[in-house]
Amino acid sequence: MAARTLGLGGQSHVIGSFAGLQIAEAGAIGTDLVNRTLAETSLRQRFGVGIVGVWDRGEFTIATAETCLRESSMLLLAGSTDQLGAFDAAYVTDSPTAKKAVIIGGGRVGRAVGHAFAAQGIEFAIVEQLPERQRDGVRYVIGDAADRLVLEEAGINDAGAVLITTHDDNVNVYLTRYCRGLRPDARIVSRSRLDRNVSTLYRAGADAVLSYAGTGSGEIWNHFRGDETLLVAHGLNVFRTPIPLELAGATLAEAHVHRRTQCNVVAVEFAGSIQGNPDAHAPLPAEGELVLVGTDLAEARFSEVFPHARRRPLFGRVRR
């Protein structure tokens, strides 16, 4: 949950690595990226980073030149450490809200998020109803999170992020809607105990929702399939596949992979080296691999459109 609130103020935050690329999120809020299309930002040309897609209040869209960024947009980037560093140098802002957060719920989840924030230098307060849950060295505000004065004492007016961590999904839905009304510009991340409530929390105004089942299955999936697929979020994967026979020697501009499959090419791997943000007019090598991003449906569509792209065995590599 802490990781999903970082990346504010133009700062990229790595959420995973795959095939030699760093996969990171970065918020548009507070930067001059807002109200501009990706074509106008020229991020690929300027920094070499690949623009995988854009999150906006739980909705993910594959990046296109016409994609317009809003204050609530979170960019999903792919690139090397140096490329992401160049992006940060251009867009990191001094906004004080990017370093402040409010955590609602002082149970195990809330305390764990607090530990993660402390390690990152994020200033935070925990709102908790039960005084006996207080711990030394952490700022607590004791009271009901449904009370506006309590939230204001915790610093909600100046916070860039609000994390809602109670164990009751109904309470989380209510608090998500309430906090969204108080802070329409803040990033709100909510916990969900049951998968069926994830969509409800997004409708209530959450920017990101993490459920026990979704988070747990994602960690297990990435552990065992880390060489083949990175599960970025529920239903969204970064995956690799051999270049289809019919695309060998063709260019990405000619292949129209996105139009035909709704997958976006992030990189091309050949002879042990990987080229992020690949040249759309360079011929694809016959023995190379593509690194792509897409939903589960898009990945299945890719396999239908390009049946000669044979994926490697599921557990074909030994992890050390």
DSSP H or E segment with residue 74: strand 73-79
Name all contacts of 62-66 with Cβ < 8 Å and 24+ positions apart.
62/258, 62/262, 62/263, 62/264, 62/293, 62/294, 62/298, 63/38, 63/264, 64/38, 64/258, 65/37, 65/38, 65/39, 66/37, 66/38, 66/39
Q: Is 319 part of any domain?
A: no
Number of structural domains (the chain) is 3
> What are 88-139's pLDDT values in tens digits?
999 887 666 668 999 999 999 999 999 989 988 889 999 999 999 999 999 9
**Cβ contact 125:141 at 8 Å:** yes
- Percent residues over pLDDT 90 in the chain: 40
On whether both 65 and 156 belong to a single domain, the answer is no
Please say whether the dihedral angle defined by the alpha carbons of residues 176, 182, 188 and 189, taken in this order, is positive or negative: negative
On whether both 83 and 101 belong to a single domain, the answer is no
On whether both 290 and 201 belong to a single domain, the answer is no
Res 315: pLDDT: 35
Q: Is 275 part of any domain?
A: yes
CATH of the domain at 147: 3.40.50.720
Side-chain-facing half-sphere of 226: CA atoms under 13 Å: 14
> What are 38-91's pLDDT values in tens digits?
999 999 889 988 888 888 877 778 778 899 998 888 888 888 899 999 999 998
Res 173: pLDDT: 97
On whether both 159 and 194 belong to a single domain, the answer is yes
> What are 239-284's pLDDT values in tens digits?
888 999 899 999 999 999 989 998 888 889 888 788 877 888 999 9
pTM of the shown model: 0.66
CATH of the domain at 247: 3.30.70.1450
**Cβ contact 20:78 at 8 Å:** no
Q: Is 311 part of any domain?
A: no
- Chosen domain end from 75, 91, 107: 91
Here the tokens at position 306 are: 């390009």
Token pair 């980073």 is found at 49
- Chosen domain end from 214, 247, 264: 214
On whether both 100 and 87 belong to a single domain, the answer is no
Q: Is 224 part of any domain?
A: no
Mean pLDDT for all residues in the chain: 84
- Chosen domain end from 91, 118, 151: 91
Q: Is 109 part of any domain?
A: yes
Q: What is the three-class DSSP state of 303?
A: helix
Q: Which domain holds residue 257?
A: 235-305
Query: Which residue from 283, 235, 281, 287 is spatially nearest to 262, judged by alpha carbons?
Result: 235
Res 7: pLDDT: 56
Q: What is the mean pLDDT of residues 284-309?
A: 87
